[in-house]
Structure 1
Amino acid sequence: MVAVIKTGQSVRRVFHYNESKVSEGAAKCIGAENYPADHDKMTSAFKINQLVNQLELNENVKRGSVHISLNFHPSEKDLNAEKLINIAQNYMSEIGFGQQPYLVYQHFDAAHPHIHIVSIKVKPDGKRIDMQNIGRNQSEAARIKIENDFNLVKAQGREKEIYNELKQIDTTSVQYGKIQSKKAVSRVLDFVLDNYQFKSLAQLNAVLNLYNVSASRGSEKSRTFKAGGLIYRIVGSDGKYTGVPIKASDFYNKPTLKFLDKKFVENKLKNSSPGTRIKNVIRNVFQDNKATLSQLESELDKMGISMVKRLSSDGLLYGLTYVDHITKHVCNGSELGKEFSAAAISKNCSVSENEIKNRQLSPEIKTLLEIQEILDSKKISGTGLQELIHILTEKEFYSGHIPKEFKRKKKNRKRKGLSNN
C-alpha cells in the first residue's frame, strides 16, 4: 500500500473533485465516518457543510483540508467496499484522525485499486491537528501495520510505479470533440496540479507538455490575454494544437490564472532548496564519462527525471527545465546553479556525429564544416594548408580583353580653375 497525503486551503475543491468523479461514474462514495448518518442517507450539501462548519471553528488554520489516497497493488482484486472501509478506519485511527469526520471514495479510474479520503485538520473543540512530518512518522508506521494486518502487497519500491501511472493523452482520439477532450485534459490537470511543485506558467507547461497538454494565455492582443484568462489545449505529436481549446473556468476545479498564481507562491514556500536529487543524478552521470546530451537525457529518464529542452529557431539549446517525477520538483537549470544551466550542460556534454548532423546550422557553419571535412580527407596541413588559405582569400585579377559594351564609361573630371567649354 502506498499512502499519499495532501493538505490545501479549500476543502470544497477536494470534495467537488471526488463528487465529480462520482457523477462521471469513475468513483463511488463508500463511507462517511463520524457523521450523524450513513453516507447514502445524506445529500452532497450536508456532507460538505459538516466539514466546512467544523473547519470554521479555527480561523487561524489556513490549510485545513486533508486529502489522502491509499493505493494498492493491481493484483489485489479482492478489495471490496467493506474491506476498503476497514482499511481506511485503521489508517485514519493510526495517524490521529480517528475522531475526525471524513468521507471515503473508491475510485475506478486507474489500473490499480485505490481510495480517496477527504477530511479536515480542525478538531470538534476547535484545536488544530499537528501534521508536521505525519507522512514520515505516523503514516509510515500505519502503512506497515495495515500491510501486515490485511496481508497486503508491500509498498517498498512502488512509489515510482504509482507516480508514473499517468499516460500521455492519445491525441488521435480527442481531436473531434470537446467533451472527450475535456475529460482527457481534466485527468492530466488533476494529477499535475495536485502533485508537482511548479513555480511559473512555463514550468507548469514543462510538465503538462509531457502529457500532450498546454496552458496558454493567448497572444498579447487577444481577448483572453487582456482579460487575464487562460485556456488549455491538447498538443499533437507535431507540436501543433489539436482539438477544441477549453477555458480554465470550464473545469470543475477552476485552474485559472488567478488560481495558478497562488500555486506558484505556495510551491516556492514548500521547499527552499528544490532539486537536490536532480543535481545528484546529473553529477553522477558526468562522474564517469563525458556523456552526449542525448545520453544524459536517457540516463535522467531512467531515474525518473525528464529533461525538457528549449531550442532556438536555429536548433541551438538555450534553456533547460528538469521535471523530477519522484520528488515532483520542477526546476530550471539556472535555478539549480550555473553547472546545471543550458550553457554549462552543453559545454560538459560531448557532441555525437548524429547530433551535429541533426542541428539546423547556418550556411556559413556548414561551409566551414565541409572545408574541414575536405582538409581531413586530403590530410592537408602545414604549408599546404597555408597555400589553400591564400588561394581561397586571394583577390581575383583578370587581364584579358573586355568587350566594349562592358567597359565603364569614363567621366569627364572638371579640373580646378579650368572650364570644360
Structure 2
Amino acid sequence: MIATILPGSTNFHAVGYNEHKVSKGIARLIEIQNFGSLGTFHKPTPSELVGYLQKYSSQNSRIRKPQFHMAISCKGHEMSEDELLDFAHQYLKEMGYGESGQPLLVYSHYDTENTHLHIITSRVAPDGRKIQHSHERRRSQEVIDRILGNDRKKKTEYDINLANQYTFSSFAQFKAIMVSMGYEVYQKDENVFVKHGGKVQKEIPFSEIESLFKSGYRERTRCRQLRSILKKYRDVSSNKEELQKELKTKFGIDIVFFGKKDAPYGYMIVDHANKTVIHGARVLAVEELLDFTTPEERFNRIEDYIDQLLTLNPKITQGEIYSKIRKQRAYIKKGIIYFDGQSRPLKPFMAEAIDRNNRIAMVEMFSPATEAERDLLCKIFKVSRTDLVDISPERTHYYTDAVNRLREIFNDETVSSVRSQLHEEGFTIRNEEDVTYAINFKKHIIINLTEERFNLERLRKQPVKPIERNRHQQPAKPVSRFSGNARLRDAGGGSHSEKREWEVGRKDNYDDVDDEHSIRR
C-alpha cells in the first residue's frame, strides 16, 4: 500500500487535474461528501467544486495553501475499488481529515495497472482550525502500517539479512541493494541508518557492513550478457522508468541511479538472480544507457548534427567533426559514420564536402601568401574551390628560415648539385608557367624561387669534371670481373656494407629526376 501526499495549492488545481481525466474517460468521481447542495439537482461543474472548497477554506485565512491532495494505491488489483475506498476512509480519519462536515472528493483512476484513488479535501477543519500536518509523511506511513498490521522494523531486519547474502564490495553497492528494496540508506559518522516510511527503522555500525565487503564482481561473461540486455530493452523503452520496470519484471534486475532524478551521474545493477551488485560503468556508460532512441534515429541524429556543423562552418574538417561527435560515441572516416559497432554511409554531398575541406586544410597548412601559390597547391591537392582557401600575406618565421637555408645552399660554390642538396633538405622542385617553386611537403613550406630571385641556373645539370691524374701514374690495368683474383663482393661484408652502392652501381645525382614528382596521398 502506498499513500502519496501531493503538493498543496491556493486555487485547488487538483480538481481540474482529476476532472480532466474524467473528461478523457480514464477517471470517475466515485464519492462527494459535505458540499452542501452541490450535486443534489445536477452534476457539479469543476468551477463550482473549486468555488465551494475556496469558500469553505476561507474560514482560516492564515492557511496559504489549503488544498490537501493525495493518491492512495495498492499492488496491482489485490484490493477492489470498494475495499480501497474503505481503507481510504480509515486513513483519513486517523490523519485528522475524517470529522463530520469535512468536504471530500474521491476519484478512481483507470490509467495504470493498479487500483488507485485520488482524494481532495481542505486542510481547514469544519470548526476553522488548521488540521495538524507536522511530520505528515512519516505519520502517513505509520497510519498505513497500523491499519494493515505491518511490523516495519521486523520487515527491515529481514531485508537487511537478505541484503547481506549478496556480493558487494562497497557501501555504495550495499546501499544500492537496500534502495532496490525500497529503503533510504545513509552513513553518518561511524553508523549506517536504514530509513523507510520517513522514519529510521534500523541503525547499524559501519564496521558491520564493512566486514561483509567482498572482492568486486568481475565476471566478464555476465557483464557482456547484461550489456546486451540493457541495450536491447533500452531500444524498446521510452524512458528510464519504463526500462527499470521491464528489467525488474523480466530478469529480476534492478537499476539504481545516483544523482539528480532527471540527470543521474551513474548507476548500479542489482542482479537479484545472482545476488550480485555490479557498477554500471563496467557494463554500459550511463549516457549510453539513457539514450532512448532507435539505432536508425541515432544515425539520423548524428547526421543531422554533422549537417548543422557544415552549415555553421562550411570548411570544417573530419578531425574537427570528430572532436564534436565523439561525445555521442561516434566518428566518421572516408564518408562513413561509425556508431556503436554499426556503420552507415554519410549523404554524398556531406562526404564530398568533408573530403574537400580536408584537402583545403592541407593547402592552408602551407600558408600560401599569393594567389599563384594557392592555385598551385590547390592543383597538387585537387581542390577545385580555390575561393575557399585562405591566403596568408604574412610570412611565418618557418618560411624565412627556409629561404635563408636555401640561399646558403645556392650560394655555396662547393655544392656540386644544388638540386640534390635541396632533396636532402626535403624540398621538391616544381615548375609552373615559367615559375620555379621549392616545396617541402613534410614541413608545409612553399617558396617561389623565381620571385625570391634565386640563381636558377644552379638547378641545371652540372658538367662532370674529368678526374685529374698524375702524368707519371700508369693507368690502372682493368681486371676482369670473372678473373680468379677478382672479389665478387667488397671485403667489408654483406648487403648492408657501407660500400654496397659500389657493387650495384651508385646513383646519387638527382639532376635526372623529373620535376613533376608524384605525391603520395
Give 1 or 2: higher helix fraction: 1
TM-score tier (shorter): 0.3 to 0.5
TM-score (norm 1): 0.41
Larger Rg belongs to: 2
